[in-house]
Structure 1
Amino acid sequence: MEILDVLIIGAGPIGLNCALEAEKNGLSYVIIEKGTIVNSLYNYPLYMRFFSTADKLEIAEIPFITTSPKPGRQDALEYYQGIARQKELKINLYEKVLKVSKNQVFEIDTSKAKYLAKNVIIATGFYDIPNLLNIPGENLPKVKHYYTEPYPYANQKVVIIGASNSAVDAALETYRKGAEVTMIIKGSEISKSVKYWVKPDIENRIAEGSIKGYFNAEMIEIKENSVIFKDELGKIHEIENDFVLAMTGYLPDFEFLKDSGIDLKGDSLVPAYNPETMETNVANLYLAGVVCGGKDTHLWFIENSRIHAEIILNHIAERN
């Protein structure tokens, strides 16, 4: 069986960038991806726009051409999938990595095959495991942890949990398609990280009462036709409800990281790695992208983690 120089787990923007850097350094590689190319972006809301401008999302100095000041989901899909096609990157799609173990080299078991590699890069992002509320009724069919578009919620009573970009986008879009929207917000205000051109809009809609907003509030239970929550004064409310959009964030696959031998530190479960090389406590096993932040998934994004690919592949090339 061929022993690859590098096996990359995840075909997101950072995983693709790692492949491009591997080619630049003359290293053999393959990307293993459980879904499609840039699978997380594919699952973003249909009309989502990035906070960053196109140039900040570029990889390998390949221009990201768009007429929009802020690229949207479809722009990004065209750009990243276009790179994969044009460069004929070696990607095995719809193949899930099940286990990474190390003997003299890494043995990687997937849902379809087994691979051997001298080095492994985990660039899996964080979009696959919702941050659960752990309350009664969360498993009801009307509860969604992913939001794609507003049309299914027209003329429905919708509760949105959260105050970040995804929650705010869902609230405004469903409201403008005729939903009766109530936001249950754990903190005292809309998140400061919300896109600057959207934040005044949601704050004004809440202030005028078009969207009901409960701050310092806590969800208690979700029922078939209602939800129960506690407001900032401790008063219990039960309101009629058709759908719940729990925009509470997502987490990396910590079990997979631990099973791969990576140490996780502190309450945020930050993986152990050397920031100068991105190598973990397991020799020749590297992390790239959002997965480096543990539970703090807002620390890393495309714009500031593109450099990980160059750091890692330079380190591997120097060792070789």
Structure 2
Amino acid sequence: MLDILIIGGGPIGIACGLKAQKAGLSFVIIEKGCLVNSLYNYPATMTFFSTSEKLEIGGIPFVTISNKPTRAEALEYYRRVATSNHLPINLFEEVTAIEHTDSYTVTTSKATYEAKHIIICTGFYDVAVNLDIPGEDLPKVQHYYKDPHFFAMQKVVVVGSSNSAIDVALETYRKGAEVTLVVRGDEISHRVKYWVRPDIINRIKEGSIKAYFNSNLKAIRQTEVDIDTPEGTLTTPNDFVMAMTGYKPNFDQLKKWGLILSDDKFIPQYNAETMETNLPGLYLAGVVCGGLDTHLWFIENSRIHADMIVDDIVAKRNNQD
């Protein structure tokens, strides 16, 4: 029987593995996709807001050429951390069921595991927040963005005003797309990276990117979209819609596993000092702790969860001895 089964092979899952390894605990990390799957699916041109020091895990230095690492540098760092420390990570293996008696029985797409404790580090990037409007199921509508070249010479509507939406708008515009930005609020979000926000504001002012504030996308059709603006409904030609409306944890999965979530923002119930949930011996780490508040936790401020959780597990084991 394992001491710990870690669900999620992202940076925080790896951090939990490093801490468990140092504590001499037996563990396995299960990841349904590739290593650091969410980071892999980030835009190819992405630069992190955080500095490399704040993305470090396990006290292992993250050395980069510039102050803010790129997606490629982050993938290299976390891969080298995992491989050089010989962490037991099973990739492309999805957890399908968790049963709790005196211990935990975890069934996956490939095997069954017995573990005394579970740490869930599944993040929030796998479930997109839908617009819930007609036409959203058309193939031209995308919630994930990879590379701007794909949109060259196309009419692109970008929905949103946070970092992901603004990156899409600016990058596709610079590859030759005709970009229309639809923003629910009355300005570009102040969460946008400080070196990017002036750029998008100036592109809007000069008319290079059309922007509709206090507006919502109302309907999507094959060759056009309807935008609900303060001046009324506008219909405009369109080739692609990039709905950068955010993402959320898999709440249905968490509830199926037995976690209690709040009624309003679906925040899981857990002990803030140990990260243990309503299920004894089952812990949460990373962004998944925030429910719908996905801006609450990041790599840099949730790295400490690994220490909190493993220290609690070790303390319980010592008390039993």
TM-score band w.r.t. shorter chain: over 0.9
Name the residue aligned to 2:276: 279
1:266 Cα deviation from its structure 2 partner: 3.2
Native 8 Å contact 1:14 1:288 kept in 2: yes
Task: Report 1:186-225 matches (<5 A).
Answer: 186-225=184-223
Q: Deviations over 1:107-153 (max 9, x none)?
A: 10111111110000000000000000111111101101000110010
Q: Which of residues 231, 245, 266 in structure 2 aligns to 1:269?
A: 266
Aligned partner of 1:174 among 172, 175, 180:
172
Secondary structure of 1:163 counterpart? coil
Could you tell which deviates more after superposition, 260-269 or 296-305? 260-269
| 2:57 corresponds to 1:69 | no
CA distance in 1 between counterparts of 2:17 and 2:282 reads 15
Residue 20 of structure 1, CA deviation:
0.4
1:232 CA displacement:
2.3
Name the SS for the 2:198 alignment partner: helix
Q: Deviations over 1:208-238 (max 9, x none)?
A: 11100001101111000000111024x0011
RMSD after superposition: 0.6
Which whole-Å CA distance do the structure 1 matches of 2:129 and 2:225 have between them?
A: 19
Which one of the candidate residues 204, 224, 243 is aligned to 1:246? 243
Query: Do the aligned residues in 2 keep the contact of 1:163 with 1:185 (CA within 8 Å)?
Result: yes
Task: State the TM-score, normalized to the length of structure 1.
Answer: 0.98
- Counterpart Cα distance in 1 of 2:208 and 2:74: 32
- After superposition, what is the alpha-carbon deviation per residue over 1:182-212, rounded to whole angstroms, capped at 9, x for unaligned? 0011111111110000000001111111100
Write out per-residue CA displacement over residues 142-189 of structure 1, whole angstroms, 9 at most, x where no aligned residue: 101000110010010000000010000000000001100000111111
> What is the distance in 1 between the residues matched to 2:99 and 2:250?
16
Give the Cα separation in 2 of the matches to 1:124 and 1:297: 12
Residue 15 of structure 1, CA deviation:
0.2
Q: May I ask how many residue pairs the two structures share in their alignment?
A: 317
- Counterpart in 1 of 2:106? 108
Structure 1 counterpart SS, 2:99: strand
Q: Secondary structure at the match of 2:234?
A: strand
Equivalent position of 1:304 in the other structure? 301
Supply the distance in 1 between the matched residues of 2:99 and 2:296 (Cα, whole angstroms): 28
Aligned to 2:162: 164
Residues 36-65 of structure 1, C-alpha deviations (whole Å, 9 max, x = no match): 110000000001001111000000110001
- TM-score, normalising length: structure 2: 0.98
Could you tell me how far 1:290 is from its partner in structure 2? 0.2
Q: Which residue of 2 aligns with 1:17?
A: 15
Q: Which residue of 1 aligns with 2:79?
A: 81
Instruction: Decide whether the 8 Å contact of 1:16 with 1:84 is kept in 2.
Output: yes
Report if the CA contact (8 A) 1:99-1:256 is conserved: no
Shift of 1:101: 1.5
Gap runs ≥5 in structure 1: none
Instruction: Tell me how far 1:260 sits from its aligned partner.
Output: 1.2
Q: Which residue is 1:155 aligned to?
A: 153
What do the CA deviations read for 1:45-103 (whole angstroms, capped 9, x no partner)? 00100111100000011000110121010000000011111001000000001111201
Give 3-state SS (helix, strand or coil) of 1:155's partner: coil
Shift of 1:31: 0.3
Match of 1:27 in 2: 25
Deviations 1:285-320 (A, max 9, x none): 000000000011000000000000000000001111
- Following superposition, the deviation at residue 104 of structure 1 comes to 1.4
Instruction: Name the SS for the 2:110 alignment partner.
Output: coil
CA distance in 2, matches of 1:276, 1:177: 48
Q: Do structure 1's residue 99 and structure 2's residue 120 form an aligned pair? A: no
| 1:236 aligned residue | 233
Q: Distance in 1 between matches of 2:265 and 2:208?
A: 36
